[in-house]
Structure 1
Amino acid sequence: MKTILKSLNNLDSINSNPSKQDLKTALLSLDIDLKDIETELKSSKNKPYYRKLLYQNEDVELLVMNWSQLECAPHDHGSSQGWIKVLSGCSENTVYEIKENGLPSELFTKTHDKDQIFYAPKKGIHKMKAQKKSDLVTLHLYSPPISGMKVYDLEKCSVCVVSDDCGAWWPDEQRQKLREIQLNA
């Protein structure tokens, strides 16, 4: 971790409200690979992933995620946009659109291999998982820091706005459920 501290300080120079290209350039310029953050990775403990915040200021946040074989729930990133880089393994990313009833409908699934990056737009809905038997680790740079994330339960036709310390899964703790909305089937 000490070896990447200098490059993380470069994130201080990102201006407020960075463009899509600014964020992509910043993520690529970090030049972080798996060996740089291995000590930060822990087991996900029956969740889709373990996440570790590596850096945050008012404008951006950088997270690393160590994935289990569980897929996360469809979710957005609130009013944030960002880029995701695959540090190891292979990711399956499914993108959705919202239908008239408010429920997400699957559009397509794309596979992303090691060293590939992909964009997560504001209000875009997606879910991710490690491809079978893949040791998936991803690096995420978002702006602004994620707040007001919506997590969807397609079976229950519900959406939940979750607290900032909750991941992309239906919250276990009541305090993580900021607002729950029943949608029409």
Structure 2
Amino acid sequence: MNILDSLRDPSKEDLKTALISLNIELGDLQTELKTSESKPYYRKLLYQNEDVELLVMNWSQIECAPHDHGSSQGWIKVLSGSSENTVYEIKENGLPSELFSTIHDKDQIFYAPKKGIHKMKAQKKSDLVTLHLYSPPISGMKVYDLEKCSVCVVSDDCGAWWPDEQRQKLKEIQLNS
């Protein structure tokens, strides 16, 4: 993880280069992977400092909610399976509207921009495992519930789903439909 120690306020390209340079494969993380039946994924923080965080996610067959990454940007590498990534834009009423979906297969990497909204899911029952490198570490993530026309700022220990626990709901906002 020496590569990550040296990153200070990294650019988009610095992050991409670092993620590729880590050369982490699924076998390297097998002992870190647990499963989640009730959530979209099990997430494990592998590394964090003031500038970056590295996470591995083992996906169930549940898709995550549309969400942003607060003021963080990052890259996602597919370690196994295939990911369907759906990208959104915010409409005037504050609700995300679907723009397009893309399939990312094993060894592909894709960018998650600051304030960009997306959702992910395992494609066609694949065993999806993804590696995520963000800068700065994610804080203030917004998760959207499109049916309830609501958005929730979640605590740093919550993933991309509507929080079950009240303490994970930092701020809930009702949007106009």
Please give the range of the TM-score, normalised by the shorter of the 2 chains: over 0.9
**Which amino acid is 1:175 matched to?**
R
Counting aligned pairs with the same residue, the percent is: 88
1:63 aligns with 2:55: yes
Query: What's the counterpart of residue 29 of structure 1?
Result: 21
Structure 2 gaps of 5+ residues are: none
RMSD of aligned alpha carbons: 0.5
**Which of residues 153, 160, 167 is equivalent to 1:161?**
153
Tell me by how many angstroms 1:36 deviates.
Answer: 0.2
**Which amino acid is 1:28 matched to?**
I
Secondary structure of the residue that 2:102 maps to in structure 1? strand
Query: What's the counterpart of residue 96 of structure 1?
Result: 88
- The 5 Å alignment of 1:5-154 reads 8-15=1-8, 17-154=9-146
Secondary structure of the residue that 1:92 maps to in structure 2? strand
Tell me by how many angstroms 1:71 deviates.
Answer: 0.1
**Which of residues 162, 171, 180 is equivalent to 2:172?**
180
Tell me by how many angstroms 1:35 deviates.
Answer: 0.2
CA distance in 1, matches of 2:52, 2:125: 32
Q: Deviations over 1:3-62 (max 9, x none)?
A: xxxxx12200012x2110000000000000000000000011310000000000000000
CA distance in 1, matches of 2:130, 2:86: 15
Tell me by how many angstroms 1:96 deviates.
Answer: 0.1
**Which amino acid is 1:118 matched to?**
F
Secondary structure of the residue that 1:94 maps to in structure 2? strand
CA distance in 2, matches of 1:13, 1:177: 34
**Which amino acid is 2:156 matched to?**
D
Q: TM-score, normalised by structure 1?
A: 0.95
Q: TM-score, normalised by structure 2?
A: 0.99
Q: Deviations over 1:60-83 (max 9, x none)?
A: 000000000000000000000000
CA distance in 2, matches of 1:68, 1:113: 16
Tell me by how many angstroms 1:132 deviates.
Answer: 1.6
Secondary structure of the residue that 1:126 maps to in structure 2? strand
CA distance in 1, matches of 2:126, 2:13: 29
